[in-house]
Amino acid sequence: MTAASTVVTRFAPSPTGRLHVGNVRAALHNWMWARKHGGRFILRIDDTDAARSEERFVDAIRADLAWLGLHPDHEERQSARFDRYEAVFEELRSTGRIYPAYESAQELDLKRKIARGRGLPPIYDRAALSLTEADHARYAEEGTRPHWRFRLDHAAPIKWDDLIRGAQSFDPAQLSDPVIRRADGSWLYLLPSAIDDVDMGVTHVVRGEDHVSNTALQLQMFDAMRAARPRFAHEALLTGAEGKLSKRLGALGVDELRESGIEPAAIVSLLARLGTSDPVEPVIDPAPLIEAFDFAHFGRAPARFDEVELAQVNARVVHQLPFAGVADRLPAGMDAGGWEAVRPNLHTVAEAADWWHVVEGPIEAVPAGEDADYLAQAAAVAHEIDWSGDPWHTLTNRLKAEAGRKGKALFLPLRRALTGRDHGPDMAALLPLIGQARAVERLEAAACG
C-alpha cells in the first residue's frame, strides 16, 4: 500500500472523564481497521473545552489504551492547534461559509417552539443572514458578541456511502446551519474535528450512529475546505442486557472492569465482534480478530453488551493465559505448575490466590461424619505410597481396591478433607502441590474431626 493510500484512523476522546465501554469499542474498531490494512492509528485528544478538560483524564486515557494493547502510532492535542483553526475559520468566513448570529439560547428555543406549532421542522431560520451592517454595529455597541454558524449549501442533497449503513442522503435545507464557535471564542466539536481529519490525513472515521447527522454537516465542511472526504462507518449503539439503552454502559469504565478482574483480552475479544454476525471468540492474541474484521459483517440492529457474557469470555481467556503473562499477579510461591493446576477453575487471575491458600493451608477441616474410618485409612495409604509419580491416582486406586469404594463415595470425602471444598481443580494436579506431609496431616485431622 502506497503512502498516498495508507489507511489512517483516529480515536478522539474528550478528557472530561474515564473511558467507558462505548469509547473503548470505538477505539478498538478504529485500531483494528488501521492494523488490518497496515495503516496508522492516531490518538487525538479533543481538549478544546478548557473548563472541563483535565490532564489526569488525558493520562488515564493513555493508560487505558495501553492496558488494552491499543497503542497509537501518533498523538495530537486539539489545544495545540488553535492557530490552525483560526486560519481556516477566517478563510471560510471570507468566502461566506461562516457567518455571525446573535440570538440567545432563549430566543432560539422560542423560535423552535413556534416552528413546531406551525408544523414546520425546528431548524434555524437564518435570520442572522438578513442583518445589516448597522445591525452588526448596534450589537457591537451594546457589547453583544456573536456566535458563529457554518452556512450549509442547499443546492444538492448531502450523500455518502456508509460502510455500515449503506447509501445515506440528507436534505441540507432540513438541517440547521450548525454553530461552530461560541460567543466567547471557544470551539464546538464540528469544525475543529473536520480540520484535524484533513490535516492528519484521516481516511476512515469509525463512530456511533448518533453522529450520522454530524457527518452530513461535516461533509460540507470538507467540501468547503476543498479537501478529500474520509470514508465513514457508523456503528449501531450499544444496549444493555435488558435490551434497551443502559445508563450503566455510559458509566462502566475501563478502570472498573480492570479492578473487577476482567482481562484486556476479554474486553477486546467481546467488543471486536459486538454488533457483527461473527461469533465471539475468546483469544489472547488479537491477530485473528484483526484479520477477520470487516464492516460488511456489522448489522444495523443495536449491539447488545452483557456483563455476564463478558465474565464468561473472561474466564475462557484466563484459561489460556501462560504463566509468564500472569506471574507478577500471582501469590508468592506459586510457580508454573501451580498456575497450570488451578487455571482451569478460575474466572479471574486474582482467584488463584484462593486456591494457593488451599494448597499451602491452613484449611478449615470438614467434619468427616461416617467417612472418618475411610479417611483414617486414606491417611495411612497416603503415608505409604510413592509420591514421585502420580500420587492422586495411586492413592485412589489403592483405596478403591482396599475400601471397596468408587465414584463420588471414593473421591468426594478425599477432596473435602484435602481442600475443604466440594469442587475445584483436578486433584491429580493439585495433590502434588499440597505435598505428602500436608496431605497426610489433613486426612488425619479430618478423620479425627
Q: Which residues are annotated as a binding site?
A: 247
Q: Cβ distance 431 to 382 under 8 Å?
A: no
Burial 121-134 (b: 16+ CB within 10 A, else e): eeebbeebeebeee
Q: How far is it between the farthest Cα atoms of the chain?
A: 109
Binding residues for ATP: 247
Cell of 346: 478460575
H/E segment holding residue 208: strand 204-208
317 has which bridge partners? Answer: none
How many helices (H) and strands (E) the chain has is answered by 19, 12
Q: How far apart are CA 278 and CA 292, in angstroms?
A: 9
d(Cα 347, Cα 263) in Å, to the nearest integer?
A: 10
Q: What element of type H or E holds 228?
A: none
Strand ranges (E), 130-203:
147-150, 158-162, 166-170, 179-181
**Residues contacting residue 298 through CB under 8 Å, at least 6 positions apart:** 164, 233, 235, 236, 275, 276
Residue from 318, 214, 189 nearest 264 by CA: 318
